[in-house]
Amino acid sequence: MSQDVVKNRLVKLNSDLTNLYKAQPELMDSFNGVIKQASKTGAVSGKNKELMAIAIAIATHCESCILFHLNKALKLGVSRAELEETIAVAIEMGGGPAMVYGAQALSLFDDMK
């Protein structure tokens, strides 16, 4: 997948989320509060939390979640090696389907880099 395709998917995802925000502002404000609280650096770094989110997204087969959290992880300086190990844990926990989504996550990372 080309960088342009990935960028367009991110733009579409953000547009879809914006539309949902307009439709359900109170819900989205509340959920954004959860996101901010859960992702802030504490005993676990923000980067490691994004890697956790990627592993969960892979294990639960959420392609848009993978894209969303990969984008955030790249901004936090996640390396390909860190992602590879994260994918390995996701496959351990999610089996064969997680392997397919893990391969997609690795491909997206390379396309986004």
The span from the CA of 49 to the CA of 37, in Å, is 11
Q: Which domain holds residue 42?
A: 3-112
Question: Amino acid identity, residue 87?
Answer: I
**How many structural domains does the chain have?**
1
The answer to whether residues 72 and 14 touch, using CB atoms and an 8 Å cutoff, is no
CATH of the domain at 15: 1.20.1290.10
Q: Could you list the pLDDT tens digit for every one of the 113 residues in the chain?
A: 788 899 999 999 999 999 999 999 999 999 999 999 999 999 999 999 999 999 999 999 999 999 999 999 999 999 999 999 999 999 999 999 999 999 999 999 999 98
For the entire predicted model, the pTM comes to 0.88
